[in-house]
Amino acid sequence: TRLAPGEQARVRVGIRNRAGTAPGTVQDGKVVATGRGHQAAASTRKLTLGVPDYQPTDASLSGHQAPYWFHSAKFGIFIHWGVYSVPAWAPVGKQYAEWYWDQMQDPNNPTYAHHKATYGEDFAYDDFIPMFTAKKWDPRAWVELFRDAGAQYHVLTSKHHEGFALWDTKLSDRNSVKMGPKRDIIKELFDASRRYTPELHRGLYFSMPEWFNPDNPWMGHAPRNPYTLEPVPYTGYTSGKDYVKGFQAPQMLELIHDYDPQLLWCDIGGVNDSHDVLAEFFNHGKNRPKPYEVAVNNRSGIGFHDFTTPEYTTYDNTVVAKWESSRGLDPYSYGYNAETPDDRYMTTEEVVHSLVDIVSKNGNFLLDIGPRADGTIPEIMQTRLRETGRWLKTNGEAVYDTTYWSRMAQLGEDLRFTVRPNKAFYIHSLAEPGATLTVEAAVPVRAGDKVMMLGYDRPLNWRTTGGSFVVDVPAAARAAGEHVWVFKVEWKG
């Protein structure tokens, strides 16, 4: 309702096909756009009626898109938890703690010396497995924390590069049911999520390769003692499989069929059978209650994807194709790093600023936590999540279910914009405003619109002058905000 010259709106048009017409039938058709009682534009083109089953081809999979819920959710929680949570060590702000096993192979890496001094040369990485106990893990407390943080989805590492699966896989005994916690971590987490936080969407991370899997070692060799180079067991794994057809793809299908994730977050790529696996992932939804749409990222080893995944970085401007930025609360680690002091974690202001900046550019923010080996989440991480949730409780309407402003994502360092189609326009000030807030751009506002600051219950005076939009911000309004001050232009008609 508020498209100005030069602005854009992106819509999906679903075509309900007549009974008896096979899904996927292509017919000549016409798309017409009308406005204010007049035809604004029209286009004749081939139209696909209904959604056919996906086939394991680039052409077929390319018809899939990130679902509505993923566009709307904006904020998710990533969870890196595995055997690496036991040593929980890396140089702070420099290396990923979850890469401990790989990093201890290199004599020039600090992890090599740390492991030797702390555990000794004969202590294999797999000797950490019995110490990964999850003895204090409360899955209900986890999902309720995610809900309280204002997140809309969570993504658990089902298996990281170490090859230790957090579910009851039938392909290998190298898993959390046969060893370590002796629990089906995915099942317990998803059961708790469905029961206590059914509003959250559930996703799973899956590493396509494994560092030292004897059948296809990503790092070029099977497990060995990094100090003597003598072979060591790949505990729980029976070698001799076709890595892709006999192990990787069947494990992914176990996750799809047995746990019903709504999001599959693959990593690394490499050798794969992803065309077949993803076609099954999308088609498997036929047997689920509707609506139930799924998404996959861009790291499954093939060209197709629903969204891209910048890591510990973001895009500088709006990217129209859907994307998601991930990073840890830790300065540079997804897995728990016991060396990181509390004052090195992201502040709540940094979390909120990142979320607003990413959302304004059409992204989602997947914020990672690294639980300890016993299943407890460090208090500093819990505090940051709850404080973020408090900000979202007040300001969430300017984040969830919004889209980017096609005219611009940001103005200067401190202003970001989002739009709730047909409802409102939001201005996010990353700095505390002064007595007036000035936006030197053509804000979509008309006479009769109401301007508010979220968290402050009185309308604000506003005016347009010289092409700028100016809002008077009383001291009480400034005091009511924190982290990011959000101004709402509520559209009337």
Residue 34 banded pLDDT, cuts 50, 70, 90: confident
Contacts of 146 (CB under 8 A, 6+ apart): 77, 154, 197, 200, 385
Contacts of 457 (CB under 8 A, 6+ apart): none
To 10 degrees, the CA torsion angle through 169, 311, 141, 99?
Answer: 60
Q: pLDDT digits over 289-327, tens only?
A: 655 699 999 999 999 999 999 999 999 999 999 999 999
Q: Which neighbouring-strand residues pair with 77? A: 154, 367
Give the model's pLDDT for residue 287: 65
Give the model's pLDDT for residue 460: 98
Residue 335 banded pLDDT, cuts 50, 70, 90: very high
Contacts of 115 (CB under 8 A, 6+ apart): 87, 100, 104, 123, 226
pLDDT above 90: residue 342: yes
Contacts of 99 (CB under 8 A, 6+ apart): 84, 90, 161
Contacts of 23 (CB under 8 A, 6+ apart): 17, 49, 50, 51, 52, 53
Using the 8-state DSSP alphabet, how is residue 448 labeled? T
Give the model's pLDDT for residue 176: 98
Burial of 438 (0-12, 13-18, 19+ CB in 10 A): middle
Give the model's pLDDT for residue 292: 62
Give the model's pLDDT for residue 399: 98
Q: Order of strands across the sheet with 462-465?
A: 436-439, 468-472, 462-465
Output the pTM of the full model.
0.97
User: How far apart are alpha carbons 411 and 355 in whole angstroms?
Assistant: 16
Contacts of 121 (CB under 8 A, 6+ apart): 225, 227, 228
Mean pLDDT of the residues in the chain: 95
User: How far apart are alpha carbons 68 and 72 in whole angstroms?
Assistant: 6
Cα dihedral 390, 396, 400, 405 sign:
negative
Give the model's pLDDT for residue 22: 87
Residue 407 has phi, psi (to 5 degrees) of -70, -40
Using the 8-state DSSP alphabet, how is residue 22 labeled? P
Structure tokens, 433: 């405003």
Across the range 54-66, mean pLDDT stands at 94
List the one residue out of 166, 161, 164 whose CA is nearest residue 139. Answer: 166
Contacts of 406 (CB under 8 A, 6+ apart): 7, 8, 9, 318
SS3 annotation, 268-283: CCCCCCHHHHHHHHHH
Give the model's pLDDT for residue 376: 98
Across the range 3-27, mean pLDDT stands at 81
Cα dihedral 388, 392, 394, 395 sign:
positive
Strands 75-79 and 363-369: parallel
Give the range among 12-21, 27-36, 143-152, 353-362 with minimum mean pLDDT: 12-21
Q: Which domains does the chain show, CATH number per domain?
A: 1-52 (no CATH), 69-398 (3.20.20.80), 414-490 (2.60.40.1180)
- Beta carbons of 484 and 395 less than 8 angstroms apart: yes
Across the range 239-260, mean pLDDT stands at 97
Across the range 142-151, mean pLDDT stands at 98
Cα dihedral 137, 142, 145, 146 sign:
positive
Residue 39 has phi, psi (to 5 degrees) of -80, 125
pLDDT above 90: residue 163: yes
Give the model's pLDDT for residue 262: 96
What helix, strand, coil percent values describe the chain, rounded to 5? 25, 25, 50
Residue 81 has phi, psi (to 5 degrees) of -145, 125
The alpha-carbon radius of gyration of the chain (Å, integer) is 25
Give the CA diameter of the chain. 80
- CA 469 vs. chain centroid, Å, equals 34
> DSSP readout, 338-382?
TT--GGGSPPHHHHHHHHHHHHHTTEEEEEEE---TTSPPPHHHH
Give the model's pLDDT for residue 288: 66
Across the range 271-297, mean pLDDT stands at 85
More confidently predicted of 41 and 474: 474
Give the model's pLDDT for residue 344: 98
